[in-house]
Amino acid sequence: MSITAASYRRALLCGTVLATALSAASASAQAAYPPEPAEDDGEVIVVTGSIRESQEAAIATKRRADNLVDVASADSVGRFPDENTAAALARLPGVAVQRDQGQARYIQVRGAPNRWTSVSIDGIPQTGVDEGGDSRSYRFDAVPAVLLQQLVVNKSLTPDITAEAITANVDLRTYSPLSDRGLSISGDLGYGFMDLGDGQQRQGSLRVSWSNDTIGAAVGASHYLRDQVTDNREAGYDEFGPTDIDIRNYELERSNNGLFAVVEAMPTDGLKLYVRGIYTEFTDKEHRNAYQIELADAESGTRGMTSGELVGVPVTAAFNNGLYENQNYIGSAGFEYESMDGWGLDGAFGYTRTENSTDLPLVQGSTSGTASPSVIYDRSGDPRFPLVTLYETVDDGNGNLSRGDQLAGLDQTAFDWPRSILLPLVQETVSDAWTGKVDGWREFGNVTLKAGGLVSIREIEGNNLGVGGVVPLGPLGFDFTQYLTNRPWDTRFPLGITFDYMDNVALNDALQIALDEAGIDAADFIPPSALYDQKETILAGYAMGQFDLDRLFVTAGVRVENYEIENRGTALIDRTATPLSVTEDHFDIFPSVNARFDVTDNLVFRLSGQRGVSRPAYAAIRVGASISDTGETISGGNPQLLPEYTWGVDGSLEYYFPSNGIASVSGFYRWVDNVLYQSQQVVGSDIYNTGGIDRSGYMLGSTFNGDNGKLYGVEFNIEHQLDFLPGLLSGFGVQGNLTLLGGEFDALLPDGTIEQTAFQGLSDTVLNASVFYEHSGLSARVSYQWRSEYLDTLGGLGAGEYRDGYENLDITLRYSLTDNFTLFADLANLTNETYVAYEGTPATPSEVEQIGSRYLFGIRFDF
């Protein structure tokens, strides 16, 4: 493409500014009341029409909300090339995504750590147990966007919303069949390809619903799959230069599938009964090919930051046919009753089962002696892509090694397979949660009183991912080099040498046969200290009042929650397993107040204050640990962790254009106590004291609570179709938001000093900009997203791995053939973004990754 990504960004920003100025000019010339909101069934707005209609529906929900929210309707989501809910939510103000191999997985609201955003589905709280329970962050890539009717981001809380949210609660609302009378059938079929590797991309969905005035039912299914190649380079560094150059290429098959069914009934006026069931799954089949050039282990030579010449450099190869799975079974049943006398009662019961597993049989082999090549590397051009030249390593007969002739490439069969090993990496976490809730309300003139309660019981059993041993493959007679193919890597990263793929599937099949014949089970290699078995119980109640004072509407109240966790695990004390158990409980009070003031019919001012909480992850709080009495060290969980608490304020000024659209600015501030981070500190308690040994003075490597933190920011947002323009130009519109953020917390260093540290995941700038056109059956949208760099992991305070800023440019096209059929084209990641992580500065990149653009074409139908 001749136009650069930076040029696109500048053009879109200029377009947004111009549209804002034109919108303001249009608004000043008009004097009308806001449009009537779209059809409203309770709090859910159903939209099946144009961009403008879906935009108006989302804005109408925001306008009437008691608290500060941002909303996306399902139809709006369908007009972006978003394969899952994380990507769809990223279109809203202040929402950024964290990606895994280019695919959106987690969201970060207002730049905060992803664990500070809680999730509900149809009002039933959900908790993530991803990556072996190392985080409570919810995996949005397991929830297909097409199952949903509306996405609501609650940026300020009311007492009837769970308090387990520091920056936001996301409520995912599923489809209601009573919103469409009669028989309704809708869906889509699409097929396309990935630019890197030319793998297929396909999707399909179908929803069938029927309802009359008293009963409705719907069933639906969705499928999305892409065959993806991920180009990857990694490196480590010391004071002399790079310690290794890790060359990787992944072939992936990633799929999202979903099923749902719902039955709703309204047997009498004011009473609604419902039963809903949802199944979602995310599956990642990973074929890994990796070669790590171990520069720091060379026999001789010089190693510098920009270049090096080394003799006898060992190379470690790693291959696997891995499988990552995340499955969710979600069921709920309940009722909603609204009497004619100004009172109502709602009740719901929900069950959620989440299964998260990793099966990563990683086969490794290394070169030695003269099979280890000599290496010249050059990082002086682009440090992200070091150029590598390989040479023979020659032995003079006396054990002295030197550099010989240049090689055309690496001999991928030159590995000492009799000394190869298997790293049996397996992880599985299963969570069963039961939730019951009831809410009641009564109107007294301009005052409405509301109260309710919730009981939630969750049982979690599993392990975090760890290496509990290795399996030597030589004694099994297993030679992985025989599965090498003649198929060259799909790669666009410059390197200087080429590689052929391993047949990972055949390798893994043969490996499993060899392991079965030897009676070896990978599950036997899970370290006992990685296991945990927990039960948490939440008892909550709230009372609140809603006061309608003409132009002022106030919602105020208090929520109380009693949280208890029973924590069982195993301490591995000098290789001896010792059972341990701990029970912790916390009683907390969470007040909140939200005020909405209608300055004019079009101008709204909001102000809110709240207290919230974020509780530690299950693996982080486990009692499992490895203890060395000789070294007086412990590594593992920290059952003494306290929840993170926050006091926060929010304010916003929202202008609703008389014809359609919104322009708003909002600000927020959060004071956070007990911020979680990874470090090493003295245990300071008797939790690990057994056998008469006092271990309170040992050093514990784990997760800890920091001191005070603060997070703050301002958000600018505009959504408007420029219908004041003449003729065909009236089809143009704009959606854009800009979020500016800041924050840090006080962390205790191992030497006892305090250091201010950035929050993980905090970008100081998040930008979304879209220009769309809709007229005469044509719907087109150009969308741009950008976020600035952020701290990804803490590798010891004051250091760590940073993620460089990145951008994405997408184009979506829709053309209505008839009222029932629409052709579509989704062109995503047109900037062909390269995702970069680095240690300290961009001069020392630790990971460079690219997946290429993706293209999808198809047809949508709606009857």
Instruction: Identify the CATH number of the domain in which residue 783 sits.
Output: 2.40.170.20
Count structural domains, the chain.
Answer: 1
Residue 41 confidence class, pLDDT cut points 50, 70, 90: very low
- Contact between residue 111 and residue 739 where contact means Cβ atoms under 8 Å apart: yes
Residue 175 confidence class, pLDDT cut points 50, 70, 90: confident
Tell me the DSSP string of 523-565. Answer: GGGS-GGGEEEEEEEEEEEEEEEEEEETTEEEEEEEEEEEEEE
Is the per-residue pLDDT at 17 higher than 50?
A: no
Beta strands at 662-673 and 644-656: parallel, antiparallel or unpaired = antiparallel
Residue 26 confidence class, pLDDT cut points 50, 70, 90: very low
As given in the structure block, the two tokens for residue 771 are 């220009």
| Greatest mean pLDDT range, 39-53, 91-105, 753-767 | 753-767
Amino acid 149: pLDDT: 80
Mean pLDDT of 148-170: 90
Residue 76 confidence class, pLDDT cut points 50, 70, 90: low
- Contact between residue 560 and residue 587 where contact means Cβ atoms under 8 Å apart: yes
R_g (Cα) of the chain, nearest Å: 29
Q: Report which of residues 789 and 685 the model is more confident about.
A: 789
- Find residue 241's DSSP bridge partners: 238
Amino acid 750: pLDDT: 67
Residue 756 confidence class, pLDDT cut points 50, 70, 90: confident
> What does residue 133 show for φ and ψ, rounded to 5 degrees?
80, 10
Cα–Cα distance list, 113 to 469, 573, 648, 719, 807 (Å): 33, 33, 16, 27, 20
Measured CA to CA, the distance from residue 673 to residue 543 in angstroms comes to 25
Beta-carbon neighbour count of residue 152 at 10 Å? 22
Is the per-residue pLDDT at 549 higher than 80?
A: yes
Measured CA to CA, the distance from residue 235 to residue 658 in angstroms comes to 55
Is the per-residue pLDDT at 713 higher than 70?
A: yes
Lowest mean pLDDT among 39-43, 378-382, 468-472, 591-595: 39-43
Whole-model pTM?
A: 0.86
Give the DSSP H/E element, type plus range, for residue 25: helix 5-28
Amino acid 614: pLDDT: 92
Side-chain-side CA neighbours of 562 within 13 Å: the count stands at: 4
Measured CA to CA, the distance from residue 719 to residue 657 in angstroms comes to 9
Amino acid 75: pLDDT: 56
Mean pLDDT of 668-697: 87
| Dihedral class, residue 632 (left if φ above 0, else alpha if ψ from -120 to 50, else beta) | left
Amino acid 195: pLDDT: 93
Is the per-residue pLDDT at 543 higher than 80?
A: yes
Over residues 807-856, the pLDDT tens digits come to 989 898 989 999 899 999 999 899 999 999 998 889 999 999 999 999 99
Is the per-residue pLDDT at 31 higher than 50?
A: no
> What does residue 18 show for φ and ψ, rounded to 5 degrees?
-65, -45
Residue 145 confidence class, pLDDT cut points 50, 70, 90: low
Tell me the DSSP string of 618-674. Answer: TTTT---EEEETTTTEEEE--TTPPPEEEEEEEEEEEEE-SSS-EEEEEEEEEEEES
Amino acid 173: pLDDT: 86
Measured CA to CA, the distance from residue 632 to residue 612 in angstroms comes to 37
Is the per-residue pLDDT at 12 higher than 80?
A: no
Q: Residues 6 or more apart from 769 whose CB is under 8 A from it?
A: 12, 13, 15, 16, 734, 735, 736, 737, 783, 784
Amino acid 789: pLDDT: 92
Closest by alpha carbon to 792, among 837, 834, 835?
Answer: 837
Amino acid 761: pLDDT: 81
Mean pLDDT of 195-219: 93
Amino acid 7: pLDDT: 38
Is the per-residue pLDDT at 1 higher than 50?
A: no
Measured CA to CA, the distance from residue 186 to residue 209 in angstroms comes to 9
- Find residue 667's DSSP bridge partners: 651, 714
Q: Report which of residues 793 and 644 the model is more confident about.
A: 644
Q: Report which of residues 90 and 440 the model is more confident about.
A: 440
Enclosing domain of residue 798: 5-862
Q: Report which of residues 801 and 445 the model is more confident about.
A: 445
Measured CA to CA, the distance from residue 363 to residue 289 in angstroms comes to 10
**How many residues appear in the chain?**
863
- Contact between residue 621 and residue 568 where contact means Cβ atoms under 8 Å apart: no
Q: Report which of residues 154 and 52 the model is more confident about.
A: 154
Mean pLDDT of 78-91: 64
% of the chain at pLDDT higher than 70: 90
Lowest mean pLDDT among 28-32, 235-239, 669-673, 700-704: 28-32
Residue 133 confidence class, pLDDT cut points 50, 70, 90: low
Cα–Cα distance list, 721 to 22, 24, 252 (Å): 11, 12, 40
- Find residue 596's DSSP bridge partners: 553, 606
Residue 44 confidence class, pLDDT cut points 50, 70, 90: very low
- Contact between residue 82 and residue 145 where contact means Cβ atoms under 8 Å apart: yes
Residue 46 confidence class, pLDDT cut points 50, 70, 90: very low
Measured CA to CA, the distance from residue 271 to residue 337 in angstroms comes to 4
Give the DSSP H/E element, type plus range, for residue 9: helix 5-28
Is the per-residue pLDDT at 37 higher than 60?
A: no
With 0-12 CB in 10 A as exposed, 13-18 as middle and 19+ as buried, what is 508?
Answer: buried
Tell me the DSSP string of 756-810. Answer: EEPPBT--SEEEEEEEEEEETTEEEEEEEEEE--EEEE-SSTT--EEEPPEEEEE
The pLDDT mean for the chain works out to 86
| Dihedral class, residue 369 (left if φ above 0, else alpha if ψ from -120 to 50, else beta) | left
- Find residue 207's DSSP bridge partners: 186, 220
Lowest mean pLDDT among 377-391, 607-621, 674-688, 769-783: 674-688
Amino acid 794: pLDDT: 56
As given in the structure block, the two tokens for residue 154 are 């609650």
Amino acid 106: pLDDT: 80
| Dihedral class, residue 691 (left if φ above 0, else alpha if ψ from -120 to 50, else beta) | left
Mean pLDDT of 585-591: 95
Closest by alpha carbon to 97, among 591, 768, 830, 556?
Answer: 768
Is the per-residue pLDDT at 537 higher than 80?
A: yes
As given in the structure block, the two tokens for residue 127 are 């908790």
Measured CA to CA, the distance from residue 534 to residue 615 in angstroms comes to 14
Measured CA to CA, the distance from residue 134 to residue 758 in angstroms comes to 20
Measured CA to CA, the distance from residue 218 to residue 185 in angstroms comes to 10
Lowest mean pLDDT among 125-134, 401-410, 546-555, 629-638: 125-134
Give the DSSP H/E element, type plus range, for residue 504: helix 504-517
Closest by alpha carbon to 84, among 828, 844, 850?
Answer: 828
- Find residue 459's DSSP bridge partners: 432, 535
Closest by alpha carbon to 347, among 262, 266, 438?
Answer: 438
Amino acid 144: pLDDT: 67
SS3 sequence of 82-128: CCCHHHHHCCCCCEEEEEECCEEEEEEECCCCHHHEEEEECCEEECC
